Structure 1
Amino acid sequence: MKNEFVLAIAQLSAEKNLDSDTVFAAVEAAMSSALKKDDLQYAEVEVKINRDSGNIDAWRLYTVTPDDDIEDDELQVSPERASTMGYPGKHAGDVIKEEVAAAPAGRIAAQTLKQVVLQRLREAERESVFEDFTGKEGELVSGTVLRVEGGRRQVILDLGRTEAVLPAAEQVRSEHYRVGQRLRVFVKEVYKASKGPQVVVSRSNPALVKRLFELEVPEIARGVVEVMGIARDGGHRTKIAVISRQHGIDPIGACVGVRGSRIQNIVNELGGERIDVVRWDPVEEAFVANSL
């Protein structure tokens, strides 16, 4: 049966949506830091927690170094000393371990340990969020408006695991955003900043319309109908050019749907924006005629 310590880590992993090994590593690193704040401040320390029993082992690490080359007794030992420590036959560059007490709770600063653990968990969580949303660049996500800043200068959305910024340049002028409103947005960019991953989203990007058509029109999702181009004036009008890659499939009819059902869902998502679906043609004159 797992002890309370291991169960607590499992619970923390679930709460933070992190792999349990990531949380164990954060706790081990925090314990190493706490030990170094005690009487091992100049030493290299390693802490390992048994994933099943919760037992904690700690070691001081030394690098085997020829006598004449030793510069730091806290980090280096000669082959002769390594032999007396139970490591005979070791050569320069080898690393040996000396077991140390895993510091009873009273010997380490509990507050420092807690702070370091929380900091490392925040870093791990940020990295996890960054990796998650980097994979969503160019995709659609749904979020809820948390706040509108600077009179529309930027809108902050809650995406669940993180927040996203909808800057003024990516907003649709005719849309009015309100706290609590649910929005579908296009993930334009994800990058790392000092305060964590930053997710920039868009409501005006033409690619938003393309992704909506992919969701509503199975023929586009399957590649039977292909989107060849989009021209958009966000909030007012969009023209989307499509072509059929399969004989007998009407690309315009596929996009519009029975009684306009498919395209109406997209129009509703875009707040009533007018959408014209035109047939793409490789002959410029014919394409222009189709677009009129």
Structure 2
Amino acid sequence: MDGNRELIEALNQIEKEKDISKEILLEALENSLVAACKNNFGRADNIKVNIDRVSGEVNVFAMKEVVEEVTDPIMQISLAQAKMKDVKKEIGDLVAIEVTPKNFGRIAAQKAKQVVVQKIREEERKVLYTQYSAKEKDIVTGIVQRYVGNNVSINLGKVDAILTENEQVRGEVFRPTDRIKLYVLEVKDTTKGPRITVSRTHPELVKRLFEAEVTEIQDGTVEIKSISREAGSRTKMAVWSNDPDVDAVGACVGLNGARVNAIVHELRNEKIDIINWSEDPATLIENALSPAKVVSVTVDEYEKSARVIVPDYQLSLAIGKEGQNARLAAKLTGYKIDIKSESQTMGY
């Protein structure tokens, strides 16, 4: 075959650059050439293709069984003919007869190209999958490409991700080339490469944004204990400091609100309430209803419920627009919260 040495040299180069084993490529090539032999011989059950690992020379052999009387010339060989090849051969032995077709060098060269391209694609797909599956449950920055129906196609560098309608924040509209932060929900391996599903609504997106923005969270001084979110509208987050000299809420807010504002900007003006976590449920619930002021909290830890009394003028603030403040506080604390104003409780 012309360029046999070139084939081996090319495979050596691929092995170096792409880190794909030359042996894997040669075996794949041998197997695909066996299939190609069907065109020449009508069948390939007993065909073996051998590529010399040094010279790159390609030989095709038919493995024939030694028999007394030949009934199938493709699969069998007479004892007399076998002896001409190798005197030691007996009935039942296999003899390798070279049957390399004339134009086989050209076929092999074409096949080699296909096999190598296919293998490189497979390996690159594997590498991409490994690379992106490591980012599952983390945040990535993507560039908006276009809307595909109601979904958004987002480029993450080497691959595109899909932001489905369900994972979009209602009211958020993107333009091509917008850079946005996304939470990676899932990375699936497919024949076309990794299929990546991302989210803008997941509460973990906010958590990860704070982790990236706040050094005290990165080094473990400040912990995010709980988070509840109604995407696009409001998030409540309870934080705790392991160091009495570090103010957990202050660390998350940042100097003049710089840290929290960067995240609010990324989330397109979603409101973020940051409160102090407490092991004491009553204190936690009082903090969670912030910015509303609370008169008293009575907790039933067994029932996981709480009765909260607020000044009359604070009732609508405590409940929030369409009940949002109370709802997020309940989600954040894990308690069912019943809010009453002072005048409502006068009769009790």
Global fold match (TM > 0.5): yes
Q: Which amino acid aligns with 1:262?
A: R
Could you say which residue in structure 1 is the equivalent of 2:138? Answer: 139
Deviations 1:241-262 (A, max 9, x none): 1101123111111111112121
Deviations 1:86-115 (A, max 9, x none): xxxxxxxxxxx9999799764416544433
Secondary structure of 2:21 counterpart: helix
Instruction: Indicate the structure (1 or 2) with the bigger Cα radius of gyration.
Output: 2
Residue aligning to 1:21: 21
**Per the alignment, in what secondary structure is the counterpart of residue 37 of structure 1?**
helix
Query: What is the aligned partner in structure 2 of residue 169 from structure 1?
Result: 166
Q: How far apart in 2 are the matches of 1:229 and 1:12?
A: 50
Q: Secondary structure at the match of 1:42?
A: coil
Q: 1:264 aligns with which of 228, 244, 261?
A: 261
Kept after mapping to 2: 8 A contact 1:36/1:42: no
| 232, 236, 253: which one aligns with 1:235 | 232
Matching of residues 106-255 of structure 1 within 5 Å: 106-108=105-107, 110-150=109-149, 153-255=150-252
Contact 2:20–2:120 (8 Å) recurs in 1: no
Q: List per-residue Cα deviations over 1:101-143 (Å, max 9, x = no partner).
A: 7997644165444334333333222222222221111111122
Identify unmatched segments of 5+ residues in structure 2.
68-72, 76-81, 87-95, 291-348
User: Structure 1 residues 127 and 234, CA, compared in 2 at 3 Å: closer, same or farther?
Assistant: same
What's the % identity of the aligned pairs? 36
SS at match of 1:142: strand
Aligned mates of 1:103, 1:196 — CA distance in 2: 39
Q: Say which SS state the counterpart of residue 285 (structure 1) adopts.
A: helix
Aligned position for 1:287: 284
* Matched residue, 1:42: 45
**Partner Cα separation in structure 2 for residue 278 and residue 187 of structure 1:** 26
What letter is aligned with 2:220? G
Cross-structure match for 1:94: none
What is the alpha-carbon distance in structure 2 between the residues aligned to residue 49 and residue 280 of structure 1?
Answer: 70
Change beyond 3 A, Cα 1:113–1:238: same
In structure 2, relative to structure 1, the CA distance for the partners of 1:7 and 1:158 (3 Å cut) is farther
Matched, 1:274 2:271: yes
State whether residues 61 and 99 of structure 2, in contact with CA within 8 Å, keep that contact through their aligned partners in structure 1.
no
Cα distance change of structure 1 residues 275 and 110 upon mapping to structure 2, 3 Å threshold: same
CA contact (8 A) 1:18 1:128 kept: no
Could you tell me whether the CA contact under 8 Å between 2:34 and 2:49 is conserved in 1? no
- The AA in structure 2 aligned to 1:114 is K
**What is the RMSD computed on CA atoms of the aligned residues?**
4.1
Structure 1 57/229 Cα, relative in aligned 2: closer, same or farther at 3 Å?
Answer: farther
Moved more, 223-232 or 40-49: 40-49
CA gap of 1:255–1:45, structure 2 versus 1, over 3 A, is farther
CA distance in 2: counterparts of 1:261 and 1:212, whole angstroms: 13
RCO higher in 1 or 2 (8 Å CA, sep ≥ 6)? 1
Offset of 1:31 from its aligned partner? 4.6
Provide, for residues 178-232 of structure 1, a one-character-per-residue CA deviation record: whole Å limited to 9, x for no partner: 2222221111011134543211011111111111111111111111111111111
Q: What TM-score does the superposition give when structure 2 sets the normalisation length?
A: 0.62
- The corresponding residue for 2:309 is none
Q: Distance in 2 between matches of 1:112 and 1:35?
A: 11
Give the length in aligned residue pairs.
265
Q: Shift of the alpha carbon at 1:269?
A: 1.4
Query: How big is each residue's C-alpha offset from its partner over 1:53-95, in whole Å with a ceiling of 9 and x where there is no partner?
Result: 7x426688999xxx9xxxxx999xxxxx9xx98xxxxxxxxxx
